[in-house]
Structure 1
Amino acid sequence: MAGTVDPLFGIHAHALQIQQRRMTLLAGNIANADTPGFQARDLDFKTALEQALGNGSSTLNTDRPGHLDGAGTQADPALMYRVPLQPSVDGNTVDVQTEQAAFMDSALRYQASLSFLDGKLKSLLTAITGE
């Protein structure tokens, strides 16, 4: 699926996957709001989409897809740590309100892509059945 834009559905298939991944990250941030030392992470949608379409270039090159970066996770230039608005004593960088707002934004964008795909599929079905 990577590297191609479907002529019928555009980038929405990629967008759904990226938004789903982002919502998973944000939910993890919210779940760890009270975990000392937890570092909130987020996904840069534009970078992730460019990467999915093959338009982006990573600053970290690996020989094989399974190679890990210095943090022990797979290298992903779209994955970032969130900069905290207020420092916390325990080192946790999660601001629950920020995470909730980001999650809702991502959920709305996910729903918009789903609505677009639903409309396209209904149009195709109408064209095929003639009804």
Structure 2
Amino acid sequence: MSLFSNTISTLESALNYSSLKQKVISQNIANVDTPNYKAKDASFKATLQQAVDQSIHAYRSDGRHYDFKQRPQTNAAVSTRQNVQYNHNGNSVDLDKEMSDLATNQIYYNAVTERINGKFSTLQNVIRGGK
């Protein structure tokens, strides 16, 4: 029996994703004037897939059923953005988009930290006996 639900580990993965996204955005902003720099992006899809793969435990009762264990484990992926407009110096960083992504990521981070704080407050309340 597990003492904690998978919610805390899922929230931890969300915080790790937000941290990675922050680093990628910061790197893009820092290189806004670097010639031939290609903007990068953190993939939420890979992070989500990894969380889902870790939380699904299935047993096959028939050979035709889908095998969950054969899926490759993926980490959060950082990739170069495709289909972007390049500046005159070959740089593909759009500062307005990066600042917008930074604000969006900050809101996401704050929401996840509030949720994990609520989970720990609930646990603390249970430990105290509801007092």
Whichever of the two has the greater Rg, that structure is 2
Runs of 4+ in structure 1 displaced over 4 angstroms? none
Structure 1 residue 77: deviation in Å? 7.2
The alignment status of 1:13 with 2:12, answered yes or no, reads yes
Q: Deviations over 1:1-45 (max 9, x none)?
A: xxxx95342511101001101110100000110000111101111
Q: TM-score, normalised by structure 2?
A: 0.72
Distance in 2 between residues matched to 1:104 and 1:43, nearest whole Å: 15
Sequence identity, in percent?
28
* Other-structure match for 2:115: 116
Residue identity in the other structure for 1:88: N
RMSD, matched Cα: 2.7
Aligned to 1:86: 85
Mark the runs of 5 or more structure 2 residues left unpaired by the alignment.
55-70
Q: How does 1:1-131 map to 2 (within 5 A)?
A: 6-9=5-8, 11-51=10-50, 53-54=52-53, 78-83=77-82, 85-130=84-129, 131=131
The offset of 1:49, in angstroms, is 2.6
List runs of 5+ in structure 1 lacking aligned partners. 59-74
Q: What letter matches 1:12 in structure 2? A: L
- The 3 A distance-change label for structure 1 pair 39 and 8 is closer
* Matched residue, 1:69: none
- Shift in Å, 1:125: 0.7
The Cα shift of 1:88 comes to 1.2
Give the structure with the higher percent helix.
2
CA distance in 1 between counterparts of 2:39 and 2:88 reads: 15
8 Å contact 2:50–2:75 — kept in the other structure?
no
8 A Cα contact 1:84 1:94, kept in partner: no
